Chain A
């Protein structure tokens, strides 16, 4: 086995986000749009065929409220208070032998040029335990995640993600990039 990176949308049961899936942000209901200027009320896994892959798993959602606050379903709380179980995104990096992981970065971009912010979308990211959101629009504004300096065959990263559209329409050309070094 070589390097494996697996993304999950957490919930009562985690939904694996496959290579051809999309993470869909909605007003709270699958396929329902978010009002321009508002933030996501729901996070879902949308298959390439358009179905709601996470419908049975009560997926977690993190909604940006302010720089240091978030709503994960129970009202406004501090970003720093969100538990790993309440983080919508779990990213697992596994390898056959024990590796360490450093220089972990995550950002959103327009799908073409890494330095360019997502089109018509404002993206906020935070790692579990962070005290504030990072407006991770473009590679120059990437969220830096904590290093994993103890060697292991499996490392987990827990991330909160929230988006706000600035124009009407589906914004599916935008992408999120995750990068790291390992040895």
Chain B
């Protein structure tokens, strides 16, 4: 079994709400939709959109907050047209089974590219920023 994810997404919504994965309406409940899909349903049902996204985790040296550009970006970056969050798992099959990678990734989506920020689930102090083409 892969350890439970420690890195959680936090979103700000167009109605001013702030929601955190695993809490409130985004609680993780066995047999129900994952917090991400609960969020998507909540957005659709209420005509809302995500206006900011960050990742949060507690590590042995303190709390970690990783932020994507947003409407209140103090660095005056480009405002994304959307956001996404997913987990990446990659592991060996033949062998000891211990050789695996596990990340939580959030994306700021722009018309022609996406900015991705990966945080390791195995070591939450490590993160990587990546830019990929938006092929959608």
Contact = CB atoms under 8 A, between A and B. Distances in A.
Contact of B30 (A7, A96, A99, A102): A96
Contacts of B61: none
B30 A1 contact: yes
Given A3-B1, A5-B2, A174 B96 contact: no
B63 interface: no
Given A97-B34, A111-B95, A183 B29 contact: no
B90 A177 contact: yes
Interface string B70-113: 00000000000000111111111111111100100100000000
B69 interface: no
A5 B91 contact: yes
Interface in A48-103: 95-100, 102
Contacts of A96: 28, 30-31
B3 interface: yes
B123 interface: no
Contacts of B85: 183
Given A3-B1, A19-B97, A98-B37, A153 B31 contact: yes
Contacts of B91: 5, 177-179
Nearest to B33: A98
Given A181-B87, A183-B36, A183-B37, A3 B93 contact: no
A179 B89 CA distance: 5
Contacts, number: 97
A97 B36 CA distance: 10
B88 A95 contact: no
Nearest to A18: B97
A17 B28 contact: no
Given A19-B96, A22-B94, A4 B2 contact: yes
B87 A182 contact: yes
Contacts of A176: 92-94
Contacts of B35: 97
Interface string A1-20: 11111010000000001111
A100 B88 contact: no
Contact of A2 (B1, B31, B84, B96): B1
Contacts of A175: 92-95, 99
A177 to B, nearest CB: 6
A23 interface: yes
Given A7-B93, A96-B30, 8 more contacts: A19-B97, A98-B32, A98-B34, A151-B37, A175-B95, A176-B93, A178-B91, A181-B88
Interface of B: 1-5, 28-37, 84-99, 102, 105
